[in-house]
Amino acid sequence: MRYTDKKLKNKTVLITGAAGFIGSNLAFYFQENHPDARVIAFDIFRTGERFGNGNLKSFGHFKNLTGFKGEIISGDITKKEDLARLENYDIDYIFHEAAISDTTVLDQEIMIRTNVNAFIDLLELAKRKEAKMIYASSGATYGNTPSPQTIGTENPQNVYGFSKLAMDNIAKEYAKRYSINVIGLRYFNVYGKNEYFKEKTASMVLQLGLQILSGKAPRLFFGSDKILRDFVYIEDVVQANILSMFADKSSVYNVGTGKPRSFQDIADILQKELGTDYKTDYFDNPYKAYQTHTQANIASTCKELGFSPKFSLEDGIKDYVIEIKRVYASEVKNV
């Protein structure tokens, strides 16, 4: 799906975190829709190292870039010597997707160093190159504020949300002080192709889909019909990124559907699409603090970026099911 007719011939696009979930989808969008653009995929790739919570330190995986024909650079955004390699390129656009995106990481030092300090280095690069910066912020900046979550009502409850809000504040200052164009996109609950290698932090859509394909009833917390999230399909996230390239105003925007849906909805839609009729396996929610409702206020996103979500939860899952089946057959079934 093409989201703009703007030409990018002889333009250079840098994508950090390009072997991750959203970054890889952006890389292929440009390859398929703007073959005349030069695309640089920058990613640390995974080493097998894990945080204290058992989750991987990097979700980047070469399989997410299988078929990508652009340039690939293995690098760490926290290392200035790695970022220095980018000085050789005339960069027009930077899509900054690299980050520690695991909300359960408690190591505050590495979270701030990776998400905040490295972002400043990339903003400096954008300033030197006179490049436009579009970066990944997060709905986690709102914490447990009442829905709909609206710009200006932030109250992060974990260091990840805190780091993303810090990025938003720094971006605002850079745009004001140096007149560079910077747009932050606060993603809500994104699901879709190339998220499998996020392991336990992958979306409920993928996790429940794989459970069902394994012949198991979907497992949900008691009361999951009342736990609502703003689930946004990867295609709409790509749309928001591409539209941001041609927005004149530096700002931060929510990226969601504006229509929250329940965990139970996901399980039911998946069963319909996969042709199963298992009963749901309910269990107690082990978390003392748990947000039960998110809803992105996307009024400014629609008005100022021209954003319009194309995929309802039903449409997104229907489109995604073929990929979930492929992932199950190639990555899960034979393991």
The residues annotated with a catalytic role in the active site are 160, 198
Q: What Å distances lie between residue 205 and 77, 118, 202, 208, 233, CA to CA? A: 30, 31, 8, 5, 10
* Contact in structure between 167 and 101 (CB atoms under 8 Å): no
Q: Which residue has the tokens 């640089």?
A: 40
Classify residue 179 as left (phi > 0), alpha (psi -120 to 50) or beta: left
* Contact in structure between 139 and 254 (CB atoms under 8 Å): yes
Cis upstream peptide for 286 (omega within 30°): no
Closest CA to 52 of 105, 103, 115, 112: 105
CA pair distance 267, 58, nearest whole angstrom: 28
CA pair distance 327, 310, nearest whole angstrom: 24
Compute the CA torsion angle 31, 164, 185, 319 (nearest 10 deg). 60
Q: What is the CA radius of gyration of the chain?
A: 19
∠ CA 110-113-116, nearest 5°, is: 130
Residue 114: CB partners within 8 Å, gap ≥ 6? 77, 78, 99, 100
CA pair distance 317, 206, nearest whole angstrom: 9
